[in-house]
Amino acid sequence: AKSNLQFPDGFLWGGATAANQLEGAYDKDGKGLNLADVLPGGKVRTQIMKDHGFAFEIDADKYRYPNHEGIDFYHRYKEDIALFAEMGFKAYRMSIAWSRIFPRGDEQEPNEAGLAFYDRVFDELHKHGIEPVVTISHYEMPLHLIKEYGGWRSREVIGFFENYATTLFKRYKDKVKYWMTFNEINGAVFHPIMGLGFSPKDEESKLQESFQGLHHQFVASSLAVKAGHEIIPGSQIGCMLIYAPVYSYDCNPDNIFHALREEQVFNYICGDVHVRGEYPVFAKRFFKENHIKLDIREGDLDVIKEHTVDYIGFSYYMSRTEKKIKDESDFIEGNILNGAKNPFLKASDWGWEIDPVGLRISLNQLYDRYRVPLFVVENGLGAYDKVEEDGSIQDDYRIDYLREHIREIGEAVEDGVDVMGYTAWGCIDLVSMSTGQMSKRYGFIYVDKHDDGTGTLERKKKKSFDWYQQVISTNGSEL
C-alpha cells in the first residue's frame, strides 16, 4: 500500500548479520576459537548469559554448538549476496570475526587467509552495488583473549583491538567506508559475557566489572575512530547501541524518575562518551551510589574527547517499562532487556514486546540529544516459520512487523530526524544470539537448517522477500 512517506535519497536499505551467527567454518583457514564457538545451543545458553563463573569451554559430549556450522555463509556467500542483490539491497551490515584475522587475538601479524575471505565478500558486494557496513566486534571475541586476559577486564586488550582495527582499515580502505566499533556496547550492563567476554564473579561485582570493561572499550573505540579517520579519508565510523526507550509504568513521579535514571544509565552513558566525548554528569553519582570506582588512566579522557563517532548505529527490538519497586509477577524477559509488562503491547513468541512507535520515540530522543545521523542497523521479528506443502513460506506476520516499524522511521524522518538507513536483522535466517536456535527466524530468506542440526542448508525466498524488494525499489513509498 502507498505509505505517503518520503525517505531520503540514498537511504541505505538492506539487511544485517554477524559473522558468528552465519559463517560457520569455525575452524577453517586458520581461524581461532572465539566466544560464540563455546556457547551451546538451546535454553542453556540463556542461562549461561545470566550465571556467574562460566568456564568458556567446549563440551561436545553434552552440548551442540550451532555456531560451528552456522548457515555456512563462509562457502555460500556468493549465492546469498546474489539474493540480497535481487532484493535490491543498497547496504549489507556484517561483522568480521576477529579470530579469523588474529586467531588468538594477541599476535602482531594477521592471518592472511582470514583477510582474504573478507576481500572476497566485499568484492562480491561491490559487484552488485551493495555498500558493506562493517561491525568490527560483534559478540565474537577471540577465546584466547577471554581465557588468558579475562576479556575486556584487561587494559591490555585495548592495544590488541587497536591493532586489529588498524589492520582492517589498512586492508579494506578502498572497499569499506561505513564502520561500527562494538555491537550493542551498552548491552554489557545487562550481560557482560557477550560484549565484554567475561562472566562476572558475582552479582555484587557485576556493575563494577562491567563499567570498567566498558571504559576499556570506550578508549579502544576512540583509538579505532582515530585510526580509521587517518587511514580512510571520508570514512564514517559509528558506535552501536542497543536502544530501548524506557517508559515509566505509570504517572507516579517516583516511577518516572526511576525510568529516567534507567534511560540515562543504560542508554546515555555509552551514547555520551561516544558522541559528546565525555561521561555525562549523572554518571558520577550513579557510580558513587553503586560503589563503582573506575580506573581511568592519564590520557584516556583526552582520547575519548578528541575522537568521537560520526554516527550512531542502533538496534531496536523493544521498549522497556520500568517500576521503581519491582514486582516479579509482571516481569517480562527479552534477550538482553527486561522490565515490567506493558499492558498496551503484544509480544513475540519469545516474549519480546512489539512496539513500532517506540522506534519513532527512540529516533527522536537520540536525535534531540546528539544531532548526529542515525542508522537503524538492526530490527526484526524472530518467529517460527512454516514451509507449506507447495514449498512457500507465508510470513505475513513478519511483513506486518517490518511495515509498522519502517512506517515509524518514515514518521521520524518527517519529524526532521536524520536517518541514514535501515538494515533488517537476520535478512537471511541464522543462529539466534540469545538461544542458539535456528527456529527463531528473522529472514526474508529461509534456510533449511534446524535446531537439532539437520537440514540441507538450501535457501528459499519467503513471502517477505518480494515485499521488501518492493519497499526498496519504491524507496519506502510502497509499504
Task: Give the residue numbers annotated as catalytic, written as ranges.
Answer: 378
Which CB atom, from 100 or from 441, has the smaller least distance to ligand BG6?
441
Residue 174, phi then psi, degrees to nearest 5? -95, 0
Q: Considering only residues 223 through 252, tell me which ones interact with ligand BG6, judged by CB under 6 A.
A: 242
Looking at 154, 163, 379, 434, which residue binds ligand BG6 (CB under 6 A)?
A: 434
CB atoms within 10 A of CB 371: 10
Which CB atom, from 189 or from 303, has the smaller least distance to ligand BG6?
189
**In contact, 201 and 148? CB cutoff 8 Å:** no
Question: CB neighbours of 225 closer than 8 A, spacing ≥ 6?
Answer: 181, 237, 307, 308, 309
Site string for ligand BG6, 368-397 (x = CB under 6 A): ----------x---x---------------
Rule CB under 6 A: say whether 335 interacts with ligand BG6.
Answer: yes
Cβ of residue 434: shortest distance to ligand BG6, in angstroms?
Answer: 3
Binding segment for ligand BG6 (CB under 6 A), chosen from 53-61, 279-287, 399-407, 434-442, is 434-442
Rule CB under 6 A: say whether 320 interacts with ligand BG6.
Answer: no
Task: Write the CA distances from 361 to 11, 245, 246, 413, 437, integer angstroms.
Answer: 20, 7, 10, 12, 30
Binding segment for ligand BG6 (CB under 6 A), chosen from 60-68, 283-291, 430-438, 445-453, is 430-438
Looking at 440, 449, 459, 462, which residue binds ligand BG6 (CB under 6 A)?
A: 440
Which CB atom, from 248 or from 434, has the smaller least distance to ligand BG6?
434
DSSP, collapsed to helix, strand or coil, labels residue 438 as coil
Per DSSP, the residues of 12-38 read: EEEEE--HHHH---TTSTTPPPBGGGG
Which CB atom, from 18 or from 83, has the smaller least distance to ligand BG6?
18
Nearest in space to 445 (alpha carbons), one of 28, 35, 68, 92:
92
Binding segment for ligand BG6 (CB under 6 A), chosen from 172-180, 230-238, 364-372, 429-437, is 429-437
Size of the site for ligand BG6 (CB under 6 A): 17
Question: CB neighbours of 10 closer than 8 A, spacing ≥ 6?
Answer: 90
Cβ of residue 380: shortest distance to ligand BG6, in angstroms?
Answer: 7
Cβ of residue 358: shortest distance to ligand BG6, in angstroms?
Answer: 15
Rule CB under 6 A: say whether 425 interacts with ligand BG6.
Answer: yes
Nearest in space to 301 (alpha carbons), one of 269, 268, 270, 279:
279
Cβ of residue 470: shortest distance to ligand BG6, in angstroms?
Answer: 25
Q: Which residue lies nearest ligand BG6, judged by its C-beta? A: 434
Question: CB neighbours of 339 closer than 8 A, spacing ≥ 6?
Answer: 246, 320, 321, 322, 323, 331, 332
Cβ of residue 261: shortest distance to ligand BG6, in angstroms?
Answer: 23
Cβ of residue 61: shortest distance to ligand BG6, in angstroms?
Answer: 26
Rule CB under 6 A: say whether 423 interacts with ligand BG6.
Answer: no
Bridge-based pairing of strands 178-182 and 236-242 is parallel
DSSP at 7:
P
Rounded CA separation 474/457 (Å): 31
Nearest in space to 117 (alpha carbons), one of 30, 181, 38, 35:
30
Rule CB under 6 A: say whether 316 interacts with ligand BG6.
Answer: no
Cβ of residue 302: shortest distance to ligand BG6, in angstroms?
Answer: 30
Q: Considering only residues 11 through 70, tell me which ones interact with ligand BG6, judged by CB under 6 A.
A: 18, 21
Listed in sequence order, the DSSP H helices in 41-111 are 43-50, 73-87, 98-101
Rounded CA separation 378/97 (Å): 18
Rule CB under 6 A: say whether 433 interacts with ligand BG6.
Answer: yes
Q: Considering only residues 79 through 138, tell me which ones interact with ligand BG6, judged by CB under 6 A.
A: none
DSSP, collapsed to helix, strand or coil, labels residue 5 as coil
Cβ of residue 95: shortest distance to ligand BG6, in angstroms?
Answer: 9
**In contact, 179 and 225? CB cutoff 8 Å:** no
Binding segment for ligand BG6 (CB under 6 A), chosen from 155-163, 409-417, 432-440, 467-475, is 432-440
Nearest in space to 91 (alpha carbons), one of 13, 9, 19, 173:
13
Site string for ligand BG6, 152-191 (x = CB under 6 A): -------------------------------xx-------
Can you give the binding site for ligand BG6, defined by CB under 6 A? Answer: 18, 21, 139, 183-184, 242, 315, 335-336, 378, 382, 425, 432-435, 440
